[in-house]
Amino acid sequence: MTMGQHMRKAGLIFRPHGFRSSFRDWVAERTTLPREIAETCLGHVSGSQVERAYRRTDFIEQRQAVMERWANFITSRNVNAVADENGQN
């Protein structure tokens, strides 16, 4: 919501949903990040109520690492510049 508000106040006609969708596609296609972490990055609730009761992590370190890779990916003209240790973007 913060990005949407910023874009609205800046007078931009675009909205961030496509940006979030692009992030999710990039994670699925170019990384080995577990689904739960990807969904947490987007602020989505993932798993059943029972799973969530036992999973008491916010994945902060994993989220920080993937968001750095995402930032490098979207700001780089050389998409290979953000390859991980396995050679994946």
| pLDDT single digits (tens) 23-59 | 999 999 999 999 999 999 998 887 788 887 887 888 9
pLDDT tens figures, 15-25: 777 788 899 99
Specify the pLDDT at position 47: 78
Sign of CA dihedral 63, 1, 47, 27: negative
Report d(CA 69, CA 81) in Å as an integer: 10
Report d(CA 7, CA 16) in Å as an integer: 8
16: tokens are 């961030």
Residue 86's pLDDT band, with cuts at 50, 70 and 90, is: low
- Where do we find the tokens 């007078």? 11
Specify the pLDDT at position 81: 47
Residues 6+ positions from 23 with CB-CB distance below 8 Å: 41, 42, 70
pTM over 0.85? The answer is: no
Specify the pLDDT at position 2: 83
